[in-house]
Structure 1
């Protein structure tokens, strides 16, 4: 029964119960008919012999005739039982097949409310949490399940609305003081009479402020990409990557990283802004976590039947295989020192630890998938697939 649908399992249970009940009924009928015919033919044979001999004025000692009539009666009894058994089994099989078909129809009708619940759950998962099942009918177990599911959706909807409001309010409250701090520091650095120590301190504070702004921006993108998209448009991953590479080329050149591209059209359906942020995070992550000498990044895009594919491969420090999955968790970094992010050529490129987390959230929001593998020579291969 494992691996079969519940409708098929219910049908098999219905048919099995019918066959068992029918087999028990046939056995009882066979036993009763056997006992009844046994008594009737035993007494009837004796009466028949006596009447036959009395009519012919023969003595009642004809054992040969008595045995012949008794054998004939026993044969008729066996033939009757065999015929009854054969026809009962044939009828049981035919009616059992019909009962299986009827059970299939009844199981489908009984499971129709569950199918409605499943369809609603899929629509809610793909679109929004505002839809409800609102199942009508008698107050049975299935309606109780639907009402419980509606109550759960109501609580989830309120929770996500509260999260969105909190993120919006927090972004405003956090960005405002950071913007003020950046403005004050820039004004102080514009003072020509500012001493060198003050300028160095201001540059450090600007770097810290910039990192905090990046962190807040990454958290906002991560929070906003947790839900699936409602509105989509046609996006070419190759064009998105070209724009991202153009912007990142200066940082890659300063870090001594060569970017190699092999881009073919890969049309997908999604949000252009989120997809560009996804590609930007992949490229920035490949630049940041690389080697100090002779580093490179290889970016390939291709469109296959039903999906678009983006592959970003880079040199870098050796990544243990057991740490690869953890890189997609927020604020997870590798505990290794050979990184461009900490080198003299790119001193301000240390990330917030949200790059790959945002990539995974955006990919899941688009109904896609992202996975990574460690290169034996060092670095990563990140493979992104999105439905077209």
Structure 2
């Protein structure tokens, strides 16, 4: 039996059947009890009315009812009641049902005397409850039959949809063959027009997604080539110019900045390509020293603090090792440092290297709780009019960290600064 929706439907029908059975049992029982009391009352009222008619003509000599089912007693201030049971003399007027002794007692008090009619209800009870048992059995069988038929009908409607859900759950959009990836062709023979339409729609969706995946792969391949080619030209040209001994010092500094920017752009391209083929081709990884990468990014970030009374320092003696693309960690740390340096006007930016984490603390403007909730979203900025940042760095850092199983957490207090913690599982630590 498939899980999920069919199971919930089965539980729903079982619950419905149980509730319907309880309603049948209690309903028939209540109707039987009310009907039994009404029959007994009617019988006693008929006997009482007949006796009072005889009493009007014969007085105290009128014969009392004395049958196998009803026995009568009469008492008055003039004529004492002979053999009146003690338990009926204390009963109130009207019909009193004594269920434990299977009797019903009618007490009618008039000005000239009191009539007691005691009815044995054993036969009536046997007849009524026997009929009730038959009705309950018939009702339960009807509930069972109706519930079973409706469940089978509902199950027949739901099972094709459940099979569609299972196929979608196993669907791998990276497979080129849509029919093999989403094998819903067997549902085309289903008699339900809605299921056939849903199956056809899923086939169409699978085809479109397969086209999207192929276009993404083509873009990844083309972007890797087309974006790297001009950067290679820039790097080679700058190397040639730097090798010219006549190049003035200020020109060399500008060329070195161009080379650093080119390397940073290559790192960003690598990061985008890794994110673009997420879940597909595994990136080229190697074991590297985290400390070396962090120190390199710290040096790159120092020009961002030029002219600011901000101290950028590195603390911690740990030197953990990771197995991943080294430039991926560089891109993550670079984005964290750029945010810290950009939004800190005075104080310090501290980079702590621990055995299993890199922590960047600043004394900048900080973020509110609302900003923190959206900090990892692309292009989100708390102040849309601020020229600082584009709102994309933290999104890249978060996605890269998630891609490699790292944890990126942010803590911030407005006006007091922000702490970004990148936690990972090192290969070795020294």
1:328 aligns with 2:376: yes
- 1:58 maps to what in 2? none
Matches within 5 A, 1:1-388: 6-7=5-6, 9-19=8-18, 22=21, 64-65=65-66, 68=69, 75-85=122-132, 117-124=164-171, 128=174, 130=176, 132-135=181-184, 136-137=186-187, 138-139=189-190, 140=192, 141-142=194-195, 144-194=197-247, 196=248, 200=250, 203-204=253-254, 207=257, 210-211=260-261, 214-215=264-265, 217-230=267-280, 241-242=290-291, 244-245=293-294, 247-248=296-297, 256-260=312-316, 272-273=324-325, 276-288=326-338, 289-290=340-341, 295-300=349-354, 302=356, 310=357, 312-321=359-368, 322-330=370-378, 355-366=393-404, 370-374=408-412, 377-384=416-423
Contact 2:376–2:398 (Cα < 8 Å) also in 1: yes
Change (3 A) 1:105 1:14: same
- 2:57 maps to what in 1? none
Change (3 A) 1:108 1:161: same
TM-score of the two chains, using structure 2 as the length reference: 0.55
Name the CA distance, whole Å, in 1 between partners of 2:237 and 2:321: 46
Change (3 A) 1:360 1:181: same
Q: Give deviations 1:145-182, integer Å, cap 9, x for gaps.
A: 45433432331221122123123323423332333244
Q: Gapped runs of 5+ residues in structure 1? A: 47-60, 303-309, 336-349
Contact 1:263–1:299 (Cα < 8 Å) also in 2: yes
Deviation at 1:134, TM superposition (A): 0.8
| Structure of higher RCO (CA pairs closer than 8 Å, 6+ residues apart) | 1
Change (3 A) 1:318 1:327: same
Q: Give deviations 1:253-291, integer Å, cap 9, x for gaps.
A: 99742132557799xxxx822xx4443233333444246
Structure whose residues are more often helix by fraction: 1
SS of the residue 2:69 aligns to: helix
SS of the residue 2:366 aligns to: coil
Contact 1:222–1:361 (Cα < 8 Å) also in 2: no
Contact 1:252–1:258 (Cα < 8 Å) also in 2: no
Q: CA RMSD in A?
A: 5.5
Name the CA distance, whole Å, in 2 between partners of 1:88 and 1:243: 86
Name the CA distance, whole Å, in 2 between partners of 1:29 and 1:284: 79
Q: Give deviations 1:209-228, integer Å, cap 9, x for gaps.
A: 75366346424522432454
TM-score of the two chains, using structure 1 as the length reference: 0.59
Q: Gapped runs of 5+ residues in structure 2? A: 48-61, 72-117, 304-310
- 2:88 maps to what in 1? none
Aligned pairs, how many? 332
Q: Give deviations 1:58-81, integer Å, cap 9, x for gaps.
A: xxx976245836987965233332
SS of the residue 1:296 aligns to: strand
SS of the residue 1:328 aligns to: coil
- 2:85 maps to what in 1? none
Contact 2:337–2:360 (Cα < 8 Å) also in 1: no
Contact 2:350–2:361 (Cα < 8 Å) also in 1: yes
Deviation at 1:201, TM superposition (A): 5.9
Contact 1:252–1:259 (Cα < 8 Å) also in 2: no
Deviation at 1:299, TM superposition (A): 3.5
SS of the residue 2:13 aligns to: helix
